[in-house]
Structure 1
Amino acid sequence: MRCQLQTLARIVSVVRTPAGGRRPSSPAITRTMSTKSTGLMFQLKVNPVSGNSEWVVIKEEVDDVSPEPMLATTSYLDMLNDSPRNRAYRTAIDRTVTKQCHVLDIGSGTGLLSMMAARAISVDDSSSYKGMVTACESYMPMVKLMKKVLRTNSMNHKIRVYNKRSDELEVGVDIASRADVLVSEILDSELLGEGLIPTLQHAHDKLLVENYKTVPYRATTYGQLVESTYLWKLHDLYNNEANVADGIHLVPKGKGGILRVKPQQFAMHCDVLGEEIRLLSEPFKIFEFDFWKRPDSHGETQVHIKATNDGTVHAVISWWVLQLDEEGKIFYSTSPKWINCPSTNNGLSSSHSGTRDWCDHWKQCVWFTKGIGLPVCKDEDVCMDATHTDISISYEFNAHSQRSEVDYHELSTQDSHITLSPERIAIYGDNHRRLTMLKAINYALKGKESPLCVVADDSVFLSVVVAHVSKASRIIPLFPGLGDKGSQYLQAVADENGYSMDRVQVISTRKQLTMNDTHQNKIDLLIAEPFYFGAEGMLPWHGLQFWSKRTMLDSILSEDVFIMPCKGILKACAMSLPDLWRSRCALENIEGFDHTMVNTTLGACGPSSDSPCIPFFIWQCGEIKKLSDTYTIMEFDFLKPLSSCHGKAKVEFTDAGVCHGFALWIDWVMDSSTDIVMSTGPDQRYWKQGVKLLAEPLKIAPGICSTVIEAYFDSASGELSVNNR
């Protein structure tokens, strides 16, 4: 049973992250597993530079020892700092739970909902406490943290904690009886991606009484048709590439699905798009999910939508409204802020609007329409088919009205299409960037008659460009993440780009490249973007894998080898980030429960803990403001082998305000002689930056002041630490 992606989705989903899933910010944590035979828990840790990984044992610790701070890069802090959420759950639990209840809390986290339930049971007379609370949490480090929270709040004797998924609990074995009330928070931005439906199904069948109650009570999903050139560029590489005059065809005609985004909803902060979104419909209801009865794994509905403007539908923006109590008085909405009342047409209270604080654990979702979009006229009836599975929701418009310049389903199953992130699709369709990279490649190839070129990352673009530009070159793409899919892609687009696969040899990086692989020839060009498939959500310095690979190939590089990029420059800028800082600030009292003991483990911003660097799209961080110029912290010289390095800079503030931290990124110097630089800074929407938040916000008065930021890169671990003073 695919049950309970709930907590693991918050912790580990680097390889597959549901829309809005709580993916970790750190590249070090990727997957967790346990073995029932030994009772051991393992965690897969990845070196962000070498790319190597190993399973490490998470040791069981005695109760009075704090857990290892391995949870510091999850979104638990963001969720626990969401006061409207906490208040809504507390109020609904107080109204639902009675003194005689057996309450089951699935995916308990720090135990907040369990403690709310236990308090509701015993609030009138603690001496007549007859109810019980069962909490199940599958992730062992979180279980240890939860037990510490329960002890601090004198709740440990009122709540029974199980280190299991709920589908592993057995009545009569683990718990004495079925539960009367289910409380849970296993929702992602799409609603279903953390395993809500299979979890409810199993609980209904095996763990709950016949007429059980739930908090939340119901969830309703809504959508709105929008026009947005920005959103269009995030998925339609074929039509964007048609406007590029470089002769490269990453998506040739008739092969439109060969490079594409996954057909799914993508979690995104849509408020920030502002004027870049044009609304083409009123909000419309899509699905309703009742938590108090057994849900279906599959559902379909047809929605008829009246267009409110002429335009082109590039996307469906969706959100959900949570009804937490049976009476319909307590709601929580993830709607964008332009929705003044997300439930006006559905009989819900107008006091529950979309004006919640910025938070990152629940965003809106975006579903892209195919190709160049769906043209509509004002007052036209648009028919949309919506389908849900047990973990996702998808949409389809009537085929006769969907205008697409390319067939997205023409590839047979044996043809390996490549699924990329929306940002990578937009990067590959960016005219300026493509022409700049082409200029750098032409310069690198100048004077080389039949060069041997190694593409050291997962860049299909660079592989195609070199093969297209230099007809005599021999190309070895390493494709550490794409593997065979990359090879099959290059074969599929060879004819349209004027090269033969006789000159291309994809070699897996699982083995060390030797002179035997190069037919005793040394490498003339070693190039990368750098881009590593599957690492788009990582910190910017994950691209330093290129430096590690360059070092491994040192013995087979020619004396006049051209290395691109030749340098990486770590840049920083002081930022005002009030929304992001608030979402990760130190916890104190949450609805009457002390959470101060979790701050260090969760990496909260505060005097007693050191917050980690976390990856974010700065432009999606709510309210933002630059408070300084851009400063160079240190440089990574790729012309030399990999080495540890240290750097610092004195940051002078240029504007008054409140500094909450620093944005950090890497500018990749493709060629120093031609000053070709590819920046991944805050002004570039398609890359995540690293964010180092201050322990305490720093108020900047006019004419004041400065601070020092320094960084240390450890070549052995691949970690980059950042501090300020």
Structure 2
Amino acid sequence: MTFISQNNVITGELEWVFLDTTKYDHEQDLARSAYADMLHDTERNVLYEKAIIKAIENLKKSNNPIHILDIGTGTGLLSMMAARALEKFQIPHDQQRITACEVDKPMAEIARECIKINSLKDRINVINKRSTELDLSNDLDNIPINMIVAEVFDTELIGEGALRTFHDASKHLMIDNKQSIIVPARGTIFIQLVQSNFLQLFHTMNDIENKSLQIPFECSNLAGNSVYDLNVNEIHEHIIPLTEPIKVFNFDFKNINNSKQYQDECIVDNIECNKSGKINTFIMWWELDMDEDGEYKLGTTPIWCTRQQPQWREHWIHGVYYPKKPLNINQGDKVSLYCYHDEYSLYFDVLPFDIKQPMNVSLFLPRLYLPSITSRSAIASFNSTYRRTKYLNALNILLEKSSDTLRCLYIGDGLLLPLLVLTMYEDVELYIVQTNKHLIRTLNQILEYNNKRCHIIDKSLTALTIEDFDQNKLDIILSEPFFSKSLLPYDNLYFYYSLQTCKKFMKSNFISMPCRAKIRCIALEFDHLHKIRLAVKKCCNFKLKPFDDKILNASKIVDDFIETQPLFEYSSKPLSNIIDLLHFDFKEDNRSSTIKQDVEISLIQNGQCNGIAVWIDFELSDGIWLTTGCETINFNQPMQWSTYCKQGVHLLRKPINTPSSLKVSTQFDYQKGHFSFEFHENLV
């Protein structure tokens, strides 16, 4: 038992929490493991088992003992599939051996328990180690393996270290390549050059108000150029393919070449563009040959490139990349694509001409890795026409009536609102409080490029003095509000506490923008998202109750009832009206009080409620509200969620059939800055 300090993102204060840290860390590891979605992936599980059966059938023909290594066993599922296949082919127990390794200690224990309740304890040995740490003599009794089965893949295929994992195991633990089998056998990465103005909104900051304020190129890509992973199937109507899919890398997992330290690069030339448009986005996916013959294939092929309805999954989605500069092309044009991978990541760029592969292509096209200064959601919020319109309307009300020079204080990590103020109103004296060195540098570059000026104060709010404002009291305090440390949408109530701290610098009749806020919610039926928290019970006829008991219990202990999700990526339908939970007035100092409200949500549409979405709306000025969720609903149309921020979600452990209702108790402790939500389910 000990006290730990943690930062409260709403109040901005350090707070001390009394915890059994050993138990908490253990439970947190379990809760974050996120295996449930994989176990609900029927296609994945079926194809793995088919490939395992085929591999063991082929190994049986050699009449040699079979030693299988399951790397990253998780619940032990693949090891149990292997044990069942060995039994199917009547491999004698003294001629078989299964070793399952799992580096995560809590998961290794869960694997042992799952294996035990499925009566396979004597046939599968679980070792709590990385596969790269296994020793042939000490861990494997000097019995080399002749089959590897592993699921060590992510959105980029190689991001979990698959290349080193397979190379190291096949080199140090296998008998030899000819007599051995790896499941899966191979992996292929595909790329497609597309136009997606929607996805561009998450990458490049657009100029303001018909280029009255321009964003210099060096400031335009603040989210960096690492992979943006999302399920593109949900936004396929915003994607225009300009070429056919292109195979760019192929990995034979038995023959990984590490002579280049797991790096490779190439140029794919003569790529024909089958439509006119602008190449501004790359969509990446991959495909696994589960067996050496390529009979069973498992992949993340997007919906427009397959005739089958893709399996929904959260653990493997799609990779989005961006060229250094978008390229306009005409139908029939040919372009070249530069492709690179290191041990864990991928990089792509497009060239507007056919280029023959030089000996060292990197000399011709140096890779440009851009760090992430702000999030992709923050870039999308900067570009949102909806938000810009709301701010402009509110600013017109606040600023146009005054003939005097107004002194404004801006607090927050968003860039849009202060730049709008400087663009629209030359007489405003703007003070920006910002301690992030990268954002300060970016602001200065944008201001210098556009011959604008303001006062940037590199201080914490508590260190401000009246001298920072030239001894002048301020008229307006502004915020988008957006703060980079916020996770949940209502964490941006940090603005309320910032306002209270800065009141001493404000005139008695000061204006606050935003001035009020309200927490809102709606009952939903998700098509798939709820599966990430569903109990598994059985998977491929193996009992996984130990997994359900420990993972779901750990989630209850360490996870908030509300988690964040970008709901525009997940299809759902509304089952209730939008309900207000709590209201806030930013000018009122309620820091010594607690507010609580109970509401009942009536489920008025046919369906099964499996989740509640929660978000916050801000009133910028009288009657002008900015939402972080949705403004209105149409029961006959799909939900239209704000794409520039994430929403909060409470996923019900037991769905509620309609018609029915549920009660929500919401409480906020102003002094501690703590929310609590209680969802009383199945209240008829």
TM-score (norm 2): 0.82
Among 447, 458, 467, which residue is 1:494 paired with? 447
Shift in Å at residue 126 of structure 1?
Answer: 8.7
Does residue 647 (structure 1) correspond to residue 566 (structure 2)? The answer is no
1:285 matches 2:247: yes
Corresponding residue for residue 394 of structure 1:
347
Cα pair distance change 1:401/1:125, threshold 3 Å? closer
Contact 2:73–2:79 (CA<8 Å) still a contact in 1? Answer: yes
- Alignment partner of 1:532 out of 453, 458, 483: 483
Task: Give the AA of the match of 1:507.
Answer: K
Counterpart CA distance in 2 for 1:504 and 1:144 is 53
Q: Which residue of 1 aligns with 2:383?
A: 429
1:712 and 1:96, CA in 2 relative to 1: closer, same or farther beyond 3 A? farther
Match of 1:93 in 2: 52
| Number of aligned positions between the proteins | 641
Match of 1:685 among 636, 643, 649: 643
- Paired AA for residue 53 in structure 2: D
Distance 1:657 1:130, change over 3 A: same
Q: For residues 44 and 186 of structure 1, do their structure 2 counterparts lie closer, same or farther at Cα, with a shift above 3 Å needed? A: farther
- SS of the residue corresponding to residue 613 of structure 2 reads strand
How far residue 282 of structure 1 moved from its aligned partner, in angstroms, is 2.5
The answer to whether 1:565 aligns with 2:519 is no
Q: Confirm whether residue 189 of structure 1 aligns to residue 128 of structure 2.
A: no
Q: Which amino acid aligns with 1:598?
A: F
- Aligned residue runs from structure 1 range 26-65, under 5 A: 47-50=8-11
The aligned counterpart of 2:335 is: 382
Give the distance between the partners of 1:86 and 1:420, measured in 2 at CA: 37
The letter of the residue matching 2:229 is: A
- Structure showing the higher helix proportion among its residues: 2
Partner of 1:293, secondary structure, is coil
- Equivalent of 2:77, from 112, 119, 128? 112
2:663 aligned to which of 687, 704, 708 = 708
Task: Give the Å deviation of 1:389.
Answer: 1.6
Matched ranges for 1:614-693 at <5 A: 614-622=563-571, 624-639=572-587, 640-642=589-591, 644-671=594-621, 673-681=622-630, 682-693=640-651
SS where residue 210 of structure 1 aligns? coil
Instruction: Answer yes or no: is the 8 Å Cα contact 1:587–1:604 preserved in 2.
Output: no
Matches of 2:281 and 2:646, distance apart in 1? 22
Letter in 1 for 2:242: L
- Compared CA separation, residues 452 and 219, structure 1 to 2 (3 A): same
Match 1:504 to one of 438, 453, 456: 456
* Structure 1 partner of 2:364: none
* Identity score, percent: 27
> Contact (CA 8 Å) 1:581, 1:660: kept in 2 or not?
yes
Comparing 67-76 with 689-698, greater Cα deviation is found at 67-76
Tell me the distance in 2 between the aligned counterparts of 1:685 and 1:518. Answer: 36
Q: Is contact 1:607-1:696 (8 Å) kept?
A: no
Task: Give SS of 1:487's match.
Answer: helix
- Tell me, what secondary structure is at the counterpart of 2:457? coil
Which of 690, 695, 698 is the equivalent residue of 2:656? 698
Post-superposition Cα deviations, 1:416-441, rounded to whole Å, max 9, x if no partner, equal 98643333323212334224224434
The whole-number CA distance in structure 2 between the counterparts of 1:60 and 1:126 is: 43
Relative distance call for 1:247 and 1:325 in structure 2 (3 A) is same
How far is 1:472 from its partner?
A: 5.6
Amino acid at match of 2:195: E
Match of 1:235 among 203, 217, 233: 203
- Please report how far the alpha carbon of residue 85 of structure 1 lies from its aligned counterpart in structure 2 after TM superposition: 0.6
User: Could you state the TM-score of these two structures normalised by the residue count of structure 1?
Assistant: 0.78
C-alpha contact 1:236 1:370 (8 A) present in aligned 2? no
Kindly provide the amino acid, as one letter, of the partner of residue 638 in structure 1: F
Relative to structure 1, the CA distance from residue 461 to residue 711 in structure 2 (aligned partners, 3 Å threshold; closer, same or farther) is: same
Please give the alpha-carbon distance, in whole angstroms, between the structure 2 residues aligned to 1:292 and 1:528.
55
* Aligned mates of 1:389, 1:602 — CA distance in 2: 33
How far apart, CA to CA, are the structure 1 residues paired with 2:135 and 2:472?
64
Structure 1: gaps spanning 5 or more residues: 1-39, 342-353, 403-412
Deviation for aligned residue 1:83: 1.0
Matched residue SS, 1:572: strand
In the superposition, relative to structure 1, how do residues 127 and 182 fare at CA in structure 2: closer, same or farther (>3 Å)? Answer: closer
What is the CA-CA distance between 1:218 and the residue it aligns to? 0.7
| Residues 1:587 and 2:536 aligned together | yes
- Between the aligned partners of 1:339 and 1:562, the Cα distance in structure 2 is 53
Q: Cα deviation per residue 1:554-609 (whole Å; 9 max; x = unaligned)? A: 66665444333233311112222122234532211111221123225434999999
Which digits, 9 at most, give the CA deviation of each residue in 1:372-423, with x for residues without a partner? 543231x333322222221122222114599xxxxxxxxxx9x998643333
The Cα shift of 1:81 comes to 0.8
Whole-Å Cα distance in 1 between the matches of residues 295 and 375 of structure 2?
39
Hey, what does 1:301 align to over in structure 2? 266
Contact 2:335/2:352 (CA < 8 Å) preserved in 1? no
Aligned partners of 2:468, 2:140: CA distance in 1, in Å? 60
Structure 1 partner of 2:434: 478
Aligned residue in 1 for 2:416: 461
Q: Is the 8 A contact 1:617 1:689 kept in 2?
A: yes
Cα gap change, 1:184/1:546 in structure 2, threshold over 3 Å: closer, same or farther?
farther
Deviates more, 1:312-321 or 1:603-612: 603-612
1:103 Cα offset (Å): 2.7
The structure-2 alpha-carbon separation of the partners of 1:707 and 1:185, relative to structure 1 and needing over 3 Å to count, comes to same
Residue equivalent to 1:215: 183
Q: Are residues 175 and 573 of structure 1, via their aligned partners in 2, closer, same or farther at CA, if it must alter by over 3 Å?
A: same
Code of the residue aligned with 2:564 in structure 1: it is P
Show CA shifts across 1:347-386 (max 9, x none): xxxxxxx523211111122223444543231x33332222
Q: What's the C-alpha RMSD, in Å, of the aligned pairs?
A: 4.0
Structure 2 distance, partners of 1:695, 1:359, is: 19
Q: Please list the CA deviations of residues 44-81 of structure 1 after superposition, one character each: whole Å capped at 9, or x if unmatched.
A: 976443465999988667xxx99636644553221111
* Deviation, structure 1 residue 632: 0.7
Tell me the alpha carbon deviations over residues 98-119 of structure 1, each in whole angstroms, 9 at most, x when there is no partner: 6833333332322222333344
Would you say 1:337 and 2:303 are equivalent positions? yes
Alpha-carbon distance in structure 1 between the residues aligned to 2:321 and 2:540? 36
CA distance in 1, matches of 2:15, 2:138: 37
User: C-alpha deviations, 1:585-636, integer Å up to 9, x for none?
Assistant: 22111112211232254349999999943322223214x2222221111223
Name the CA distance, whole Å, in 2 between partners of 1:551 and 1:187: 48
For 1:652 and 1:637, the matched residues in 2 are separated by: 27
Displacement after TM superposition at 1:335 (Å): 0.8
- d(CA) in 1 for partners of 2:403, 2:199: 41
1:331 deviates by 1.5
Secondary structure of the equivalent of 2:68?
A: strand
Code of the aligned partner of 1:568: A
| Alignment correspondent of 2:361 | none
Q: 1:722 to 1:55 in 2, by over 3 A?
A: closer
On the 8 A contact 2:628/2:645 being kept in 1, the answer is no
Q: Deviations over 1:5-49 (max 9, x none)?
A: xxxxxxxxxxxxxxxxxxxxxxxxxxxxxxxxxxx9x99976443
Deviation, 1:82, is 0.5
How much has 1:205 moved relative to structure 2?
4.0
Alignment match, 1:35: none
CA contact (8 A) 1:94 1:120 kept: yes
Mapped to 1, the partners of 2:286 and 2:91 lie a distance apart of 37
TM-fit CA distance, 1:455? 3.3
Greater Rg over alpha carbons, structure? 2
CA distance in 2: counterparts of 1:327 and 1:291, whole angstroms:
14
| Counterpart position of 2:280 | 314
Does residue 576 in structure 1 map to residue 486 in structure 2?
no
Distance 1:376 1:422, change over 3 A: farther
Find the aligned partners of 1:594 and 1:370 in 2 and give their Cα distance.
Answer: 49
Match of 1:351 in 2: none
Partner letter of residue 530 of structure 1?
P
